[in-house]
Amino acid sequence: MTFFDLLPLYLNGAWYTLLITLGGCALAFVIAMTVGIVGSVRNPVLRAAAAVYVEVFRGVAALVLMFWLFYALPLVTGYRVEPVFAAILALGLNVGAYGAENVRGAIKAVPRAQYEATVALNMTPVQRMRMVILPQAWAQMLPTFGNLAIELMKGSAVVSLIAVSDLTFVAQQLRTFSGDTALAFTAALVMYFIIAQVLLFFVRMAERRADRRLGRAPAKPTRRGGRIAAAVKGGGA
């Protein structure tokens, strides 16, 4: 049995992995932006609420949270959560707490002079955040958001423990039935790597776009050739 024979099964597993990754990232992003912005305001009550959320969900294991949502929540509320939704919720809540600190730190890193300029222009707090602070902070947030997205994708491997047919679940099943452990998990590693590279590609595109909007476009690479060599020699003469 070759990898190409198993490809349809791995593509199905990759679909679930991608679905959970994108769903978790979307939830984490909304939570991170909301809690991060709330955590940067002057109101002590709002800041305290944001801090409580961050500390609670950074302090619990995503795997245990997922188990609680899938196994314990139905016992407490009588409502059964679907495995995929439980996985998205657990990963999104956990990663969103880390993302919130990233957002808060990026907002605080915007130079104070920028904030003072918005006050001088008589902007409302919403206008300050939307038009001046967030566009500058966004470029600083993106690299960390990319890392968190990759970590969430890799963390999704544990969803197989609640019977979600993701890549890890498929690899485990094929290892059991075929006995070819090396092929089963090597194929899963390759698929995870491909998904990670796709995520990184889009994050880097977003980083370049944010830099261009702020006038930080990277300088064009210097051409190497005879002219440069001649210039160097001429300068040293």
Counts for the chain of helices (H) and strands (E), in that order: 11, 0
Span 204-226, pLDDT tens digits: 998 888 878 777 655 455 555 44
- Cα separation, 86 vs 191, whole angstroms: 23
Q: Among 138, 146, 30, 33, which residue's Cα sits nearest to residue 88?
A: 30
Whole-model pTM: value is: 0.82
> Please, what is the Cα angle at 175 between 171 and 180, to 5 degrees?
120
How far, rounded to the nearest angstrom, does the alpha carbon of residue 133 sit from its chain's CA centroid?
21
Give me the sign of the Cα torsion angle 18, 20, 23, 27: negative
Give the highest mean pLDDT range of 9-13, 62-66, 171-175, 216-220. Answer: 62-66
Which sign does the torsion angle of CA 44, 134, 29, 154 carry? negative
Q: Are 152 and 25 in contact (CB under 8 A)?
A: yes
87-91-96-97 Cα dihedral, nearest 10 degrees: 120
Pick the closest to residue 192 from 162, 152, 154 (CA basis): 154
Q: Do residues 197 and 150 make contact, with C-beta atoms less than 8 angstroms apart?
A: no
pLDDT tens for each residue of 95-121: 999 999 999 999 888 888 888 888 888
Domains of the chain in sequence order: 3-236 (1.10.3720.10)
E strand segments, the chain: none
